[in-house]
Structure 1
Amino acid sequence: MTTTAPTSTSLDPAHFGGGSRHWHPFTPYSEDVELKIFTADLARNETVVLLRAKAGAHLGVHDHFGRVLAYSISGKWSYAEHDWEATPGDFVYEVANSRHTLVADPAEDIVLFIYVEGPIHFLDGDGTVVGVETAKSFAERYLQFCRDHGYPEPDLFPF
């Protein structure tokens, strides 16, 4: 009896040119925070972005229901609820079910590389959910921004 090994299929790495992505405002949450979305995995609800915020900007209170991994590229930032400050080269690991408010240092703009897993709930001052973000909503907002500004729509779903 002859057996054959299963055929192996491999996916090639995806390359995302930074110049092919555009910064867009993270509205309605903040006019001072912008995102550059590289990829959105709708099946796993994962999004990979660059976040850029003006000096002194705040990104309102939000809950994460999955992990968030953030690497500081430039500027200083913190969470209003904690006593540490992240600087260039720092890595922040946010566990699922964490709640915080991003605050950019007033002296300089910040840029972060961020991996988001799962939904994010944005809250008002009373803790009421005022917005829910998912990989799908991140992607839809970004693609609509590209259409509205005449930019080519990048492939956010390469796999």
Structure 2
Amino acid sequence: MPWVPFTPYSDKFFLKLIKVDPIRGEWITLLKLPPYSELPLHHHSGTVMVSTLKGSWKYLEHDWVATPGSFVFETAGSRHTPVSVGEEEVVTLNIIQGDWNLLSPDGAVLAIENWRSMMDRYLAYCKKQGIEPVDVSSFSV
């Protein structure tokens, strides 16, 4: 599975799409961020589970820092701004249900990401790179 740039938000953030579940609206990815990165402010319509595999990160809106081995459970309706902390690249495993709404500072929805947009991004990247895509929506290993 390729690391796909998380454009148009950044060509320095990368996603590896592992699975999508169109029935439950769930998408599972690895996310890779360089040091000193900030993802956009966003709101989740569903729950999100994040396991930190490498590096450290936090939300600007909270005092805690997630480190390797940390597990973060975000309730539906949460809103936050993730940032990487320290000199090391960050890699997380993310299990996301529902929409990921990118917000302006005043709370207006600028873009919506979900299982479909993730699948479309992955398929477009594979086509552009000449990679045979894997059916990440199927019941398989």
**Shorter-chain TM-score: what band?**
over 0.9
Larger radius of gyration: 1
Shift of 1:43: 1.5
RMSD: 0.9
Shift of 1:59: 0.6
The runs of 4+ residues in structure 1 deviating greater than 3 Å are none
Pick one of 22, 39, 44 that aligns with 1:42.
22
Unpaired segments of 5 or more residues in structure 2? Answer: none
**What residue in structure 2 maps to residue 80 of structure 1?**
60
2:107 pairs with 1:127: yes
Q: What is the distance in 1 between the residues matched to 2:58 and 2:11?
A: 19
SS in 2 for 1:31: coil
Percent sequence identity over aligned pairs: 40
Unpaired segments of 5 or more residues in structure 1? Answer: 1-20
**What residue in structure 2 maps to residue 11 of structure 1?**
none
**What residue in structure 1 maps to residue 38 of structure 2?**
58
**What residue in structure 2 maps to residue 155 of structure 1?**
135
Residue-by-residue CA offset, 1:55-109 (whole Å, 9 max, x unaligned):
1111110000100000000000000110000000000000000000110114110
Q: How many residue pairs end up in the alignment? A: 139
Shift of 1:134: 1.1
Q: What is the distance in 1 between the residues matched to 2:86 and 2:4?
A: 21
SS in 2 for 1:32: coil
Give the TM-score taking structure 2 as reference length.
0.95
Q: What is the distance in 2 between the residues matched to 1:126 and 1:98?
A: 16
